[in-house]
Chains A and B, each alone.
Chain A
Amino acid sequence: MQEAIPYKSHNGGGRSPLHYSLEGADNGGGRRLVTNGSETSVRKLVVENAVIVFGRRGCCMSHVVNRLLLGLGANPAVCEVDEEKEEAVLNELSIINGGGIQFPVVFTGGKLFGGLDRVMSTHITGELVPILKEAGALWL
């Protein structure tokens, strides 16, 4: 099995022909990571990053999450998941956290944080920034 190499910039490389990719599409910022969907790869990403966002490649909702976190000064790791890996990665994440998971999903400090709903709610109540600080994703 191949190990995913973190911090390597991704390249899709001719996958699903039905999946339209934009030239120079950006994910809203953040450090891009790749995963091959294996258990070790996914776990590693979750554990090694203070804050990481898993989302479908080219998804606008992931973009929203990334922009919001960036705007707060966090530098989230972003894992864009290809369509074919989607199921595998979702499975792995669900196993790690014993529950149903949907994209986009955020992990902080190695633990599940939540989806866009939770990010928005905690942001409005002011709880998000302290949580990010505690996870080491944000410094004064």
Chain B
Amino acid sequence: MDFPSTQFVSSRTMGTYEPIHQIGMWGENFKSISNPNISASVIVDVANKLENESETTSHEMLASTSKHDQEASKPFDKIQRRLAQNREAARKSRLRKKAYVQQLEISRLKLIQLEQELERSRQQGLYVGGGLDTGHLGISGAVNSGIAAFEMGYERWMEEQNKQICELRSALNAQISDIELRILVESGMSHYFELFRMKSSVAKADVFYVMSGKWKTSAERFFSWIGGFRPSELLKVLVPQIDPLTDQQILDVFNLKQSCQQAEDALSQGMEKLRETVSATLASDQMGQGIYVPQVAMAMEKLEALVRFVNQADHLRQQTLQQMSYILTTRQAARGLLALGEYIQRLQALSTLCANHPREPA
């Protein structure tokens, strides 16, 4: 039987011979993290298994003819045990792979920091602080291009957004038909959904970029919750603009507001748990060992959950928008979208004002 030299395949697909080979494969990279005694016993078990294979098959053939009922369970047990051992060995192999990958991540971290130092010393005197965090060379090229693409896309998105707001304003003033208004409302909603897709894409490249809200103005950032606005806050802002509402609508909107609040709370608590987990992982035992330790790689793994949080928050924003469009009439929805658009524009104007406001030295 051929033993492939580099394969990360579950032993389940390869049969009993696989476990021994996998254990050997990771041996060199393995830094004695798990209990060596357990590994040894698995090897012994499997070795015994292989030795006894030939004996038991002949035993089985003899026994099956005489005591059929009792022996019916025996081969089944052997199979179950073999499967269990395979699973065990596969698990060990996965753990070893994980340890190896973490060592790689640590090396990658070292490399990035060395590159940063190099770049810094090269540009001494010319280096201007306050640039993007993602000033890494080489390795983070993909991240940089993901962010650059997003920023370009967002600029275009904003231009289109402002255009749509103008159209809504004139449409509502001009008293156009509901059908035409519906088209504007639908494209307004789709436009927001487009933004959520863009955010999801760049979050995969750099989730901290999305979380930081760097792509937004400072006043917008002030209201940021998991990479964007809190749906319940926006509802509070918009609903008064959409008066008058029917009693049923008032009830529906109230329920929507409450549901948003509950969903936001659940997500916030999940975020809090994530912070605790990452913090605890980073600080787990052995401080005083420097920074190139497995804890950092382990924490990074946990932090990958942040992407899911950003996606869930945007999903919540999208659902809320969708639900509002069901509750409201076309005209009300148009007014709501206009109010939302203008609210954000005012926030952006506020940011510009704050940035340019002359301040007397104290």
What is A's interface to B at a CB cutoff of 8 Å?
16-18, 20, 22, 28, 58-61, 63-65, 67-68, 71-72, 84, 87-88, 116-117, 120-121, 123-126
Task: Check if B312 is an interface residue, CB within 8 A of chain A.
Answer: yes
**B-chain residues with CB within 8 Å of residue A72 when the two chains form the complex:** 262
**A-chain residues with CB within 8 Å of residue B256 when the two chains form the complex:** 124
Interface-located stretch among B40-48, B116-124, B166-174, B263-271? B263-271
Cα distance A19–B266 in the bound complex, in angstroms = 25
Residues A67 and B98 in contact in the complex (CB < 8 Å), given A18-B298, A58-B277, A124-B259:
no
Q: Is the interface of A mostly helix, strand, loop or mixed?
A: helix
Residues A68 and B266 in contact in the complex (CB < 8 Å), given A17-B33, A60-B277, A126-B259:
yes
**B-chain residues with CB within 8 Å of residue A126 when the two chains form the complex:** 255, 259
A28 and B273 form a contact (CB under 8 A)? yes
What is B's interface to A at a CB cutoff of 8 Å?
33-35, 87, 91, 95, 98-99, 102, 255-256, 259-260, 262-263, 265-267, 269-271, 273-274, 276-277, 280-281, 284, 298, 305, 308-309, 312, 315-316, 319-320, 323
- In the assembled complex, the CB of A46 is this many whole angstroms from the nearest CB of chain B, namely 22
Cα distance A117–B318 in the bound complex, in angstroms = 12
Q: Is the interface of B mostly helix, strand, loop or mixed?
A: helix
- In the assembled complex, the CB of B310 is this many whole angstroms from the nearest CB of chain A, namely 12
B269 and A67 form a contact (CB under 8 A)? yes
- In the assembled complex, the CB of B325 is this many whole angstroms from the nearest CB of chain A, namely 12
- In the assembled complex, the CB of A58 is this many whole angstroms from the nearest CB of chain B, namely 7
Task: Choose from B98, B269, B281, B312 the contact partner of A120 (Cβ within 8 Å).
Answer: B312
Residues A22 and B270 in contact in the complex (CB < 8 Å), given A71-B265, A120-B319, A126-B255:
no
Cα distance A22–B275 in the bound complex, in angstroms = 12
B277 and A22 form a contact (CB under 8 A)? yes
- In the assembled complex, the CB of A42 is this many whole angstroms from the nearest CB of chain B, namely 15
- For A18, A65, A121, the residue with the greatest tally of chain B CB atoms inside 10 Å of its CB is A18
- For A63, A71, A72, A124, the residue with the greatest tally of chain B CB atoms inside 10 Å of its CB is A124
A123 and B91 form a contact (CB under 8 A)? no
Cα distance A29–B344 in the bound complex, in angstroms = 38
- In the assembled complex, the CB of A128 is this many whole angstroms from the nearest CB of chain B, namely 9
**A-chain residues with CB within 8 Å of residue B276 when the two chains form the complex:** 22
**B-chain residues with CB within 8 Å of residue A67 when the two chains form the complex:** 265-266, 269-270
B270 and A120 form a contact (CB under 8 A)? no
B315 and A120 form a contact (CB under 8 A)? yes
**A-chain residues with CB within 8 Å of residue B271 when the two chains form the complex:** 60
- For A20, A59, A84, the residue with the greatest tally of chain B CB atoms inside 10 Å of its CB is A20
B270 and A60 form a contact (CB under 8 A)? yes
Task: Choose from B262, B273, B277, B281 the contact partner of A123 (Cβ within 8 Å).
Answer: B262
**B-chain residues with CB within 8 Å of residue A116 when the two chains form the complex:** 312
- In the assembled complex, the CB of B311 is this many whole angstroms from the nearest CB of chain A, namely 9
B284 and A20 form a contact (CB under 8 A)? yes
**B-chain residues with CB within 8 Å of residue A22 when the two chains form the complex:** 276-277, 280
- In the assembled complex, the CB of B233 is this many whole angstroms from the nearest CB of chain A, namely 16
B87 and A88 form a contact (CB under 8 A)? yes
- For A22, A60, A87, the residue with the greatest tally of chain B CB atoms inside 10 Å of its CB is A60
B277 and A64 form a contact (CB under 8 A)? no
Residues A64 and B319 in contact in the complex (CB < 8 Å), given A18-B99, A28-B273, A124-B256:
no
Residues A18 and B95 in contact in the complex (CB < 8 Å), given A59-B305, A60-B270, A64-B267:
yes
Cα distance A22–B280 in the bound complex, in angstroms = 7
A120 and B34 form a contact (CB under 8 A)? no
**B-chain residues with CB within 8 Å of residue A87 when the two chains form the complex:** 87
**B-chain residues with CB within 8 Å of residue A88 when the two chains form the complex:** 87
- Taking A63-B270, A63-B273, A120-B312 as known contacts, 11 extra A-B pairs with beta carbons closer than 8 A to each other, sorted by chain A number, are A20-B284, A61-B308, A64-B267, A67-B269, A87-B87, A120-B263, A121-B315, A123-B259, A124-B319, A124-B320, A126-B255
A to B CB contacts below 8 Å, 13 in the list: A16-B34, A17-B34, A18-B95, A20-B298, A60-B309, A63-B273, A67-B265, A67-B270, A84-B91, A117-B312, A117-B315, A124-B259, A125-B323
**A-chain residues with CB within 8 Å of residue B270 when the two chains form the complex:** 28, 60-61, 63-64, 67
Task: Choose from B34, B35, B95, B263 the contact partner of A124 (Cβ within 8 Å).
Answer: B263
Cα distance A88–B90 in the bound complex, in angstroms = 12
The 9 A-B residue pairs with the shortest CB-CB distance, nearest first, are A64-B270, A68-B266, A124-B319, A67-B266, A60-B274, A60-B270, A64-B266, A63-B273, A60-B273
